[in-house]
Amino acid sequence: MNYTTLSPAERLVVAADFRPEPNLGKRREWVRGQVLELANELKGLGVYLKLNSILRACGYDLPMRIYEVFGLKVFWDLKLFETKGTLSADALLLAEFVPEILTVSCSSSVSSLKALKECLPHTEVLGVTVPTNFDAQDVSELYACTIVEAVARAAEIARRAKLDGLVCAPAEIRSLRFKFRPPATLNAANVRYKGVNIEDDDQNPGRSMPPGDVIKLGATRIIVGRPILSAPNRREEAKRIIEEIRVASVSSVMSV
């Protein structure tokens, strides 16, 4: 894929992050129903649909159904993390599904990530740097450094493992883009409009940014979940963000 020619719609990844209530019965059926309903609402827009927990709960056949029925490509957000042997086994088992985009955790070793990538040559493998809900205290407790330092370390692991790109927060896009030029992709999660409160939002607002601003800084794609999922009309909200991506993309080209 030529990442520099993605359409505005292809640069939007809609996160289908549905969480069932603890007392809900038939949780898997409920989540599956929510994902398929969202896919139907977004049908024909050309956006990606990000799936995570549902892939583990309902199986790897779901992305093919979503593509065949709704025409939507799937962003496999598995954040795989393990030993070299396990990650290469994961990759070999995933290969028959030919995932277009797959996430792994940069907390794995270089050799482990490299082994996975070598088994999935036709998949865009993205390394997740520091989870976007982490704040300075979380990062200090886990990595004994600052957020900036932790992201830089994770990015270096991804580079040495020859991964295809990164997943990070908007706040880190500018610094990472200086080091990771296309075709390496930068995929920003925790994209939020300023001043808009989202119920039960667990993201770190200090690492967030509006869609257009993230694109102007050099993000390849933006990953948007709750702002779309909580909108009265999810299709119209997605279309509004696609247009914002288009305008920001034009502005970025003109400013070069």
- Let me know if residue 4 belongs to a domain: no
Residue 2 in any domain: the answer is: no
Tokens of 245: 């991506």
Per-residue pLDDT tens digits of the chain, which is 256 residues long: 556 689 999 999 999 999 998 888 899 999 999 999 999 999 999 999 999 999 999 999 999 999 999 999 999 999 999 999 999 999 999 999 999 999 999 999 999 999 999 999 999 999 999 999 999 999 999 999 999 999 999 999 999 999 999 999 999 999 999 888 888 999 999 999 886 777 777 788 899 999 999 999 999 999 999 999 999 999 999 999 999 999 999 876 444 3
Domain count, the chain: 1
pTM for the whole structure? 0.94
First and final CA of the chain: distance in angstroms?
23
Q: Are 139 and 107 in contact (CB under 8 A)?
A: no
**Bridge partners, 165 (sequence order):** 126, 185
Domain containing 108 equals: 9-255
Where on the phi/psi map is residue 137: left (φ > 0), alpha (ψ -120 to 50), or beta?
alpha
With respect to residue 3, please indicate whether it lies within any of the assigned structural domains: no
Q: Cβ neighbours of residue 186 under 8 Å, at least 6 residues apart?
A: 165, 166, 168, 173, 176, 177, 180, 218, 219, 220
pLDDT at 60: 95
**Residue 79 counted as domain residue:** yes
Residue 142 lies in a domain: yes
* Helix (H) / strand (E) containing 50: strand 48-51
Is residue 1 a part of any domain in this protein? Answer: no
> Regarding beta strands 165-168 and 48-51, do their DSSP bridges make them parallel or antiparallel, or are they unpaired?
unpaired
CATH assignment at residue 188: 3.20.20.70
Q: Is residue 36 part of a domain?
A: yes
pLDDT of the residue at 57: 92
